[in-house]
């Protein structure tokens, strides 16, 4: 299985597009380096990063052991188009993540080892949690399967939030690719990748894997970054540092 990181966006809400949010620092490492280490810790070493905004800076941060695909139209497109550009490396099965997700490695391991071939991570809210806002990618789950995924999902149909990490088997990838192509060719260039996952879920089983309450956050704004820096990263630091210690001791 291959790993795909979607890192083409400019992240204007994060820092006014001064630098990519995937390069947001956590102590001495960038967010995307944490993601790369986590993928490798979980056994995924064949990794493709889709770059766009400040592509050279992201390439430099990732290093030479990563394959790159460039979305030169990042100003006018979104994550669906970025994933579609990487279609040549998807056919063996893949796990894809947004570049702005800081998460505990156990979440990825849970997803990869789940018995379901095609699945996405879902964060189920606490009983006393407030209603989700307009920005969260909401998920409707029935009998363990995703039946809808959309930011505009009605509260009564919302069961959880899409974390932004999804896996597809080789057969699932082959079923997904024509759906992505159909969306792109019909002009949905500004759609999020979950638009294609929604289409997939309406035709094929796409299962929801819960986060088990493990710490994670999506970093869209300065407040998100502050939360990640002060709360999430300290809670996952030891887990995400494991690949470095293993490499030193090898």
- pLDDT tens, position by position, 90-126: 999 999 999 999 999 999 999 999 999 999 999 999 8
What tokens were used for 206?
A: 């796409």
**Could you tell me which residues are beta bridge partners of residue 98?**
6
The number of beta carbons lying within 10 Å of the beta carbon of residue 32 is 22
Residue 57 near residue 23 (C-beta atoms within 8 A): yes
Which residue in 63, 62, 2 sits closest to 35, CA to CA? 62
The number of beta carbons lying within 10 Å of the beta carbon of residue 122 is 20
CA distance 114 to 69: 28
What pLDDT sits at residue 130? 79
CA distance 241 to 234: 11
What pLDDT sits at residue 1? 93
Q: Which long-range contacts (CB under 8 A, 24 or more apart) does 152-161 make?
A: 155/131, 158/132, 159/122, 159/124, 159/208, 160/122, 160/123, 160/124, 160/125, 160/208, 160/210, 161/122, 161/123, 161/125, 161/132, 161/136, 161/137
What pLDDT sits at residue 241? 76
Which residue in 104, 81, 110 sits closest to 234, CA to CA? 104
What pLDDT sits at residue 250? 29
Whether the CA torsion 174, 175, 180, 183 is positive or negative: it is positive
Reading phi first (left if > 0) and then psi (alpha if -120 to 50, else beta), residue 97 is in: beta
Domain 2-249 has CATH 3.90.550.10: yes
- Roughly what angle, to the nearest 10 degrees, separates helices 31-41 and 242-249? 60
Which residue in 172, 148, 168 sits closest to 160, CA to CA? 148
What pLDDT sits at residue 247? 36
Low-confidence ranges of the chain (pLDDT < 70): 16-17, 242-250
Pairing of strands 25-26, 2-7: unpaired
CA distance 152 to 208: 19
Domain boundaries, the chain: 2-249
What pLDDT sits at residue 242? 65
What pLDDT sits at residue 129? 79
């Amino acid at each position: 299985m291959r790993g795909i990181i979607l890192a083409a966006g400019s992240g204007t809400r994060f820092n006014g597009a001064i630098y990519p949010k995937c390069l947001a620092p956590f102590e001495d490492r960038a967010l995307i380096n944490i993601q790369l280490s986590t993928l490798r810790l979980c056994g995924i070493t064949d990794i493709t990063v889709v770059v766009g905004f400040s592509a050279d800076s992201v390439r430099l941060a990732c290093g030479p052991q990563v394959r790159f695909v460039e979305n030169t139209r990042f100003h006018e497109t979104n994550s669906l188009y970025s994933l579609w550009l990487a279609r040549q490396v998807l056919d063996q099965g893949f796990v894809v993540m947004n570049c702005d997700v800081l998460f505990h490695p156990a979440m990825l391991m849970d997803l990869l080892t789940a018995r379901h071939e095609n699945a996405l991570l879902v964060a189920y809210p606490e009983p006393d949690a407030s209603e989700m806002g307009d920005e969260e990618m909401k998920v409707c789950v029935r009998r363990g399967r995703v039946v809808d995924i959309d930011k505009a999902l009605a509260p009564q149909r919302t069961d959880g939030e899409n974390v932004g990490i999804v896996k597809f088997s080789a057969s699932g990838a082959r079923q997904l690719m024509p759906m992505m192509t159909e969306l792109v060719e019909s002009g949905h260039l500004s759609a999020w990748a979950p638009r294609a996952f929604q289409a997939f879920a309406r035709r094929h089983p796409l299962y929801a894997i819960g986060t088990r309450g493990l710490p994670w956050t999506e970093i869209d704004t300065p407040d998100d970054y502050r939360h990640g820096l002060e709360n999430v990263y300290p809670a996952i630091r030891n887990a995400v540092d494991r690949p470095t210690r293993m490499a030193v001791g090898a």
